[in-house]
Amino acid sequence: MAKFIIKTSRCSKRQNSQKEISRKKSHLSTYSGHRNYSLYISRVLKEVVPQSGIASGTLDVLNSLINDVFERISREACNLMNFRNRCTLTPEDIQKAVYLLLPAKLAKYAVAFGSEAVHRYVHSLTPCTSLIKRWGK
């Protein structure tokens, strides 16, 4: 008889136990886990075309599109992380996933804008050096 070997990731939180933990059903169990980007879509549209609006059906379609692309990118990045036998998701994994999933020119712009946004966010978190000098006195 052939043996079936179950390959487990070395990063899994459940090392020895294969039993699932049962949880009580609540009203949150019906939540699909998708974020709603309608507010952000409306804000960007108002910046680009101030006199224009958008229908709620169109907002739903765009929201579904954003969630779908996000899921695909995250799934592909997770596959790349597992393929490299790593436990940490790196920005390189996400960038490679974007290059694999999106067309070339769109992926190039997406990675460029995403890297710029992360760079701005990281540098907005650094403390102001003038405040540090003042507190040091």
Q: Which domains does the chain have, with CATH numbers?
A: 37-125 (1.10.20.10)
CB 111 within 8 Å of CB 95? yes
Q: Mind listing the pLDDT tens digit for each residue in 32-71?
A: 677 899 999 999 999 999 998 899 999 999 999 999 999 9
Q: Mind listing the pLDDT tens digit for each residue in 72-82?
A: 999 999 999 99
For position 44, what pLDDT does the model report?
A: 92
At 117, phi and psi to the nearest 5?
A: -65, -40
Confidence of residue 83 (pLDDT cuts 50, 70, 90): very high
Going by the DSSP 8-state scheme, the letter that residue 84 receives in this structure is T
Q: Give dist(CA 25, CA 107) in Å, integer.
A: 40
Q: Give dist(CA 74, CA 81) in Å, integer.
A: 10
Residue 29 has pLDDT above 50, yes or no: no
Q: Give dist(CA 99, CA 119) in Å, integer.
A: 19
Residue 123 has pLDDT above 50, yes or no: yes
What's CA 105's distance to the chain center, in Å?
A: 21
